[in-house]
Amino acid sequence: MPWWKSSINGSSAFLVSHTSWRNKWPGGQQVRQLEYLVERELSLDASYRALWWCTVQPETWRAEGIQPEGENYTSPGLLWKALTEDVDFGSPAESRYWAIFHYQSEMLQGPRSIGLVEDMRRFAAMERELEMDYVELLNSCQPQSMDAEQENWVADPDLPTYSWENAAEVPTASLPVAELDLWKPDIAAAILPGKEVHVQVPFSLLQNVKESFLKNNISYEVMIPDVQKVIQHQTMVAPENQKISLNNFDYTKYHPMHEIYDWMTQIREEYDDIVTLHHLGTTYEQRPIFYFKIGWPSDQKKKIIWMDCGIHAREWISVAFCQWFIREILENQHSNPVLNKALRNIDFYIVPVLNIDGFIYSWTTDRLWRKSRSSHKNGTCYGVDLNRNFDAQWCSIGASENCSTLTYCGTGPNSEPESAAVADLVGSLKSEILCFLTIHSYSQLILLPYGYTKDPSKNHEEMLTVAEKAAAKLQQRHGTTYKVGSSAHILFAQTGGTKVPDSSSGSSRDWAADLGINFVYTFELRDNGTYGFELPENQIKPTCEETTDAVLTIVDYLNEKYFNSANSLLSTNLWINLCLPFIIAIYY
């Protein structure tokens, strides 16, 4: 079911996928009763006025002079027209989130559905989509009971009615609608019965949400009691005019973008024999995106391992890992046997922060911002989920075409300058890239292609074997366990194989696999939800240590697979060439 948000004269209305109160809203209601409910809720909460839609008989609409004679259906578009004409919205400040509508998909049946669909298109043309509210959360956790209630609602033509005189009998919502920030999974469609759901709740609604969960027999645990307190602690940084030094750079701290830019420059200058810094592209807000090329000089063309971090702004541990891993290569290139072998044949292309605009915004304004910062619909909503913007079954599943959602896929494949920059460079180097790694958080997963289908990639078994070795190596360091598999496979397994999972399309991982790169992985780093995206700094070191072990396991496999036999052959030929003149000299 779609979620819509509209803005008219400064007021907002919601179209919500909601089933739990359907059978409490009968036919035969007067439009005036909707006004009453607005007034009733307004007296309780001026910021959140709940207005519940009941199906109104066509005769009622005609009596109100709203619906043309001969029309035989009720649509959200007509209801919206009624409300805009008959309901006093109040000031924008008072009516920030004031109305809820429910659009019944079962109405799209029979000959009358054509008119309803067309009216919905007009209705939706000016709407914006929300991510989730607590009602959707309840419905997702209790699908069987909700489905049964829906069936009863559809099957019963003799539902009771409520009159204006008996308005007190009309059931009203016990909770206002709230925008909840869904953390895990990142789309409502992936919520499964019996599985954990992580969601951020505004403090003003916390008690009401707790009571609602208790009433609906949903167990819960408060993971982070005060999100803002954690944010304030993590975003305490030095002034921008205070320069950093590699000598005292702290890899166990999170760093804002101006410090990371300084760090990039100093890394390039300090290790200019092995490091070059390249311009990848420019962000929407005109900031430069850089990547490091790290490798020992060679006269021969070398293969590439790609790594990007920070595609989602709030995933700070991802950025911290890229910095840590770069330091690991540079400081241990000779002492670490895996790096020592790999750097002879492989160059690392590493993007420390891809979504720079969003990353900066997560430091200055909204710690939990996910998307980029591009402007859409005349500045009414911002940002694209860059990991839904690549040309891999773009926007077909697990993504939204509505710009106010967290998973907004953009206006087209690679519509954003950040994703387009990656697509251009990686596309031009695809024959040289052995492995594509994209680093995210959280959930402790190593994910393989694909997210948009359960069909395996061409070398799925080999990729899976390597990933399992990497996860085992990771666990040896600190005991952290990771799940391994394709996005679709992991979700499908969690359902017991009872339904096709809703995963995601447009990811950089799936795009790289479709491009023909043989080894493609998404790392979802710590943790499993205790801190979520706000992983404390005391976990940076263990997270980066164990993830480095996992990545180097993959690197070692690739080096052995592609270069070990070639190196042995080269050594044998070199020995013969060196010894042959000596043997000939003795003979003569």
Determine the pLDDT at residue 237. 58
Are residues 206 and 282 located together in one domain of the fold?
A: no
pLDDT tens digits, 323-335: 999 999 999 999 9
Are residues 415 and 328 located together in one domain of the fold?
A: yes
Least confident of 326-335, 405-414, 487-496, 573-582: 573-582
| Residues taking part in catalysis | 524
Most confident of 68-72, 127-131, 214-218, 261-265: 261-265
Are residues 250 and 355 located together in one domain of the fold?
A: yes
Count: domains in the chain: 2
C-alpha to C-alpha distance for 581 and 576, rounded to whole angstroms: 9
Kindly report the pTM of this predicted structure: 0.65
Determine the pLDDT at residue 235. 65
Are residues 109 and 32 located together in one domain of the fold?
A: yes
pLDDT tens digits, 526-577: 999 889 999 999 999 999 999 999 999 999 999 999 998 654 443 334 333 4
Determine the pLDDT at residue 228. 73
Neighbours of 214 (CB within 10 A): 11
Q: Does residue 535 sit within a domain? A: yes
C-alpha to C-alpha distance for 1 and 64, rounded to whole angstroms: 29
Higher pLDDT, 140 or 545: 545
**Identity at 486, one-letter amino acid code:** S
Are residues 180 and 249 located together in one domain of the fold?
A: no
Determine the pLDDT at residue 189. 60
Are residues 216 and 278 located together in one domain of the fold?
A: no
Q: Does residue 230 sit within a domain? A: no
Q: Does residue 273 sit within a domain? A: yes
Are residues 302 and 211 located together in one domain of the fold?
A: no
Determine the pLDDT at residue 194. 67
Most confident of 75-89, 131-145, 461-475: 461-475
Are residues 195 and 249 located together in one domain of the fold?
A: no
Q: Does residue 585 sit within a domain? A: no
C-alpha to C-alpha distance for 345 and 2, rounded to whole angstroms: 50
Q: Does residue 425 sit within a domain? A: yes
Q: Does residue 583 sit within a domain? A: no
**CA angle, 447 then 449 then 455, to 5°:** 125
Determine the pLDDT at residue 487. 82
C-alpha to C-alpha distance for 144 and 346, rounded to whole angstroms: 53
Are residues 17 and 71 located together in one domain of the fold?
A: yes
Q: Does residue 57 sit within a domain? A: yes
Determine the 3-state secondary structure of 36 from DSSP: helix
pLDDT bin (cut points 50, 70, 90) of residue 432 is: very high
Q: Cβ-count burial of 85 within 10 angstroms (0-12 exposed, 13-18 middle, 19+ buried)? A: exposed
**Length, in residues, of the chain:** 588
- Domain of 396? 244-568
Q: Does residue 234 sit within a domain? A: no
Are residues 217 and 285 located together in one domain of the fold?
A: no
Is 85 a residue whose pLDDT tops 80?
no
**CA angle, 265 then 269 then 272, to 5°:** 125
Q: What is the mean pLDDT of residues 435-445?
A: 97
